[in-house]
Amino acid sequence: MRICVAQTRPIKGDIAANIEQHKKLIHLAIDGKADVIVFPELSVIGYEPTLVKGLAMDASDTRLDSLQQLADLHAIIIGAGIPMKCGDGINITMVLFHPNAQRQTYSKKYLHADEEPFFVSGENNATCIRGSNVELAICYEISVPEHSANAGKNGGKIYLASVAKSANGVKAAHQTLSGIAAKYGMTVLMANSVGPSDDFVGAGGSAVWNSDGILLEKMDSESEGFLILDIETQEIFKVV
């Protein structure tokens, strides 16, 4: 299996433009023989909590159809971040596009206090990448010990985190994720954004750690691109 973490520069609230950006990186990841590609937190709109009331959507939104088509055509699993409508509010959600299958969703359960005025806790099925031992996490969840402990209990071998973090946040996340990798013997990957987001600047640093917690590769703080990890060989492909 080859897993790709994408590093994007979202355009604030511009769903159409951001989806086009996703498609460009997906095509490049397909060229790199990726089996899975995951984007940063709320990648389809950018991390913009104050805008989500007007931008919230359903996982079945037709504007996402082109991502499903790429998944179907190229047999790749795509994870993109959206603000998803739910019964009592809006979830921070990753939509999973599996080839020729119904879309699945992973919604952030553990919210940071700053997010609570805009979002509600969601239901996350951490093993929703079918046929794999990949466990998912969205941003603040990596800081909640119960989350990574459950991933370990579930038999996870790969911990895949989709985040939106500033420079200070990236530094802390790198330490946390290295510790998670070493503690639970999981390979860990993180996808972060770059550029203006909400009241901070996304600082990139998308990265991969092996199951001993050793950093194998990371992106810089400004470039769009991605990392692909070949799980079997531990070889990494970097595109910027």
CATH number of the domain that residue 205 is part of: 3.60.110.10
* pLDDT computed for residue 126 by the predictor: 52
Kindly give, in sequence order, each residue whose CB lies less than 8 Å from that of residue 94, ignoring residues fewer than 6 positions away. Answer: 38, 79, 80, 81, 82, 105, 106, 107, 136, 138, 162
E strands, the chain, where? 2-7, 36-38, 77-86, 89-97, 104-107, 134-138, 158-162, 187-191, 194-197, 200-203, 207-209, 215-218, 225-230, 236-239
Report pLDDT digits (tens) over 120-149: 999 876 556 766 789 999 999 999 999 999
Report pLDDT digits (tens) over 211-229: 999 999 999 999 999 999 9
Kindly give, in sequence order, each residue whose CB lies less than 8 Å from that of residue 144, ignoring residues fewer than 6 positions away. Answer: 110
As a whole number of Å, the CA-based R_g of the chain is 16
- For 173, the domain range is 2-239
* pLDDT computed for residue 123 by the predictor: 82
Q: With beta carbons less than 8 A apart as the criterion, state whether 181 and 210 touch.
A: yes
> What is the rounded CA–CA span in Å between residue 237 and residue 217?
9
Mean of all residue pLDDT scores within the chain: 95
Report pLDDT digits (tens) over 85-102: 999 999 999 999 999 999
State the total domains in the chain.
1
148 by DSSP, 3-state: which?
A: helix
First to last CA, the chain: 21
Q: With beta carbons less than 8 A apart as the criterion, state whether 204 and 194 touch.
A: yes
Which residues make beta-bridge pairs with 38? 5, 79
